[in-house]
Structure 1
């Protein structure tokens, strides 16, 4: 079968990283590319003093993201990546997919927006969440005892605007699976894994 790229897409707070770990633990070896991990890495190295510098960090992370994706495609790796993908990323990913002849599966996670806002808020206030995501100025080693005082937390209105205007819930590339995760207890992850394995995962990966 063809080399495979799995894109875990969809709205913020839908559990993309959680699903990524499920797939990795059950369906063999994938090289994971995380744009959030790259943002956190560069934030720790360079820091930022304002939103403009924070945006520069994000641009740097995206440049590295595509560089890593191309390197892994050149090596023929099976790849997985989780992010609220939008039309911004689609052309470059599609170009790489076509250049290296990859089969693509998009798993798009959707959910009730009010539910997602509460999940997003809880995640941002979690002390294990990288602080750089919720502040406008950051350098490595910074600590905020009360995260509710962070100056770049999303308001409800901002969150809803992002979710309804950026195309997170319409992104797709290749084969599409859409999963409603408003209630995690009702998600049939086993069936999803079975479908992916039967249709997309190369035999060599299933044996690993």
Structure 2
């Protein structure tokens, strides 16, 4: 069954702190919708693509490349808005990203929906540690020097990586408000992913856009 929105020109924003499962939740929501016309744009995927193309030799180069990737991310959203596509984006967006996203929404006349994923700090801390241990992330997330053509998996074991304590982790995110609250705001408790109702998210969007 293909599910659509009353307004095709809708920007779906999946946000939340590290470890809240944004990528997986967004993917499952798209599977629920069964709508191949929706365009998914991931800032992380853009970063990983450019890390593989350009590489970096130190933290400063990596930061500079990431800022360039962020501009590509915004331009990609803008291009898809010109094409009148329904768009889904996912990332731990916080107040630093809000002004630019708000500007894009206002200039395009798009409907915005913020799906804010949240759970308790201990849960996200454990999930993040498990993800790093399983090694299923692009190595560019963990390294300060990376070039695809010379990278070897053993490089991850040769670097000194000290996982942050729970206190350090909470301190690093305490100043970030991940619910950027653009358009319709839908908070979703992801303590247990099996209890997330994609039908409920969809129906809230339908009700919101039908009233517009």
TM-score range normalised by the length of the shorter chain: 0.7 to 0.9
Q: Deviation digits for residues 110-142 of structure 1, max 9, x if unmatched?
A: 111111111111112333310000111111141
Equivalent residue runs for 1:154-193 within 5 Å: 154-156=163-165, 157-168=167-178, 170-193=179-202
In the TM superposition, residue 105 of structure 1 has moved relative to its aligned partner by 0.2
Partner in structure 2 of residue 10 of structure 1: 16
In the TM superposition, residue 163 of structure 1 has moved relative to its aligned partner by 2.2
Partner in structure 1 of residue 3 of structure 2: none
In the TM superposition, residue 161 of structure 1 has moved relative to its aligned partner by 2.0
Partner in structure 1 of residue 27 of structure 2: 21
Partner in structure 1 of residue 109 of structure 2: 101
1:56 matched to 2:64? The reply is: yes
With structure 2 as the length reference, what TM-score do the two structures score?
Answer: 0.85
Greater shift in the superposed pair: 25-34 or 94-103: 25-34
Unaligned stretches of 5+ residues in structure 1: 202-208
**Cα 1:112–1:59 shift into 2, 3 Å:** same
**Cα 1:74–1:126 shift into 2, 3 Å:** same
Q: Deviation digits for residues 9-53 of structure 1, max 9, x if unmatched?
A: 111111111121122222222111110001111111111111111
With structure 1 as the length reference, what TM-score do the two structures score?
Answer: 0.87
Partner in structure 2 of residue 144 of structure 1: 153
3-state SS of the aligned residue for 1:62? helix
**Cα 1:33–1:46 shift into 2, 3 Å:** same
- Distance in 2 between residues matched to 1:135 and 1:199, nearest whole Å: 43
**Cα 1:106–1:25 shift into 2, 3 Å:** same
Alpha-carbon contact 2:55-2:146 (below 8 Å) kept: yes
Q: CA RMSD in A?
A: 2.1
Partner in structure 2 of residue 34 of structure 1: 42
